[in-house]
Structure 1
Amino acid sequence: MRAADVLLHLAAQSVVEVEDRVSLPQLRVLVLVALHGPQNLGAVARELGVHASNATRTCDRLVVAGLLSRREDPSDRRFLQLDLTPEGRDLVETMIEHRRQSIAEVIEKIPADSRGSVASAMGAFADAGGGLGSDDGRFTLGLGR
């Protein structure tokens, strides 16, 4: 539990880096799109666990802020496709980079001869978690699913 507390603290601190620009639900939308590519409003509503009208308002604010783009879905014009703008991608990457650096600072404090064991255990832990983050390690949600 102590390790979970440290990881949670590091994740929360990385959110502080961007909380002056977006709310937590807005950040969840941006991370969802960063992880899984363009989304429609239905997918966003399901991910947030909210009614479609709430998802629409959240996404509208992100579009106005210049962090999310909205266009017709080329495969089905009945749907809108939501994607990150370059500014939206930069915001998510800023948060993730802060998280990555904070974790690296903690890992550097682990005795060198123990780091391999810790990395192996954390990899097994991530695998057992069942896909809560990306396979390539670029982004992780950590935002309260």
Structure 2
Amino acid sequence: MTKRTPASPAVDDALDDALADALADAFITVSRALVGTAVRSVNAAPVEVTLVQHRLLVLLATGGDQTVGTLAGQLEVNASNASRLCDRLQKLGLVSRDRSTTDGRAVEVSLTASGRELLETVRAHRRHEVRRILSHMSPDDVEAAITALTAFGEAANEVGEAQWTAHIL
């Protein structure tokens, strides 16, 4: 095995930049496909919800009951926007709001059974869409994608599909 020795730090930096750019381009391309899959999946929900409303439901499924302020922070929106999102989801019967048992001043938002059902419908549709795309890839490419995407998900601090599914089922 030959040990690679860099010609100069500038050459390594250029190589790293080229690899980083190629990887960024690949992820941007894939993200367009995944956003399309996400939109089609959310549109398959039994009631009309937006992607942001769906994300709020996912946060409740994975994180349990939360205050509007906590949800706002996770969604990176102001509290009044998060409150309006919760209002709409509550009217649809997908979330409920109750006084906190530990802090009577706080109101916690909870996912309802209908909210869990919606998430399961969207998840099943998304899984079907992804499997359709994977059917056009070679087994070796699928294995490489599993490895790369698992590492990316871990770096992004996303819970794995098995953990996430356990929260909604």
What's the TM-score, normalizing by structure 2? Answer: 0.70
**Percent same amino acid at aligned positions?**
36
Q: Point out where structure 1 has 5 or more consecutive residues left out of the alignment.
A: 141-145
Distance 1:4 1:54, change over 3 A: closer
2:37 maps to 10
**What is the total number of aligned residue pairs between the two structures?**
138
Select which of 123, 133, 147 maps to 1:120: 147
Larger radius of gyration: 2
2:159 maps to 134
Task: Name the amino acid aligned to 1:135.
Answer: G
Q: Is the 8 A contact 2:46 2:118 kept in 1?
A: no
1:143 maps to none
Higher helix share: 2
Matches within 5 A, 1:5-84: 5-18=32-45, 21-84=48-111
Q: Point out where structure 2 has 5 or more consecutive residues left out of the alignment.
A: 1-25
Select which of 122, 125, 148 maps to 1:98: 125
Distance 1:82 1:103, change over 3 A: same
Please report the RMSD computed on the Cα atoms of aligned residues, expressed in angstroms: 2.3
Distance 1:24 1:136, change over 3 A: closer
Runs of 4+ residues deviating >6 angstroms: none
Task: Name the amino acid aligned to 1:26.
Answer: Q
Larger RCO (alpha carbons 8 Å, 6+ apart): 1
Q: Is the 8 A contact 1:41 1:52 kept in 2?
A: yes
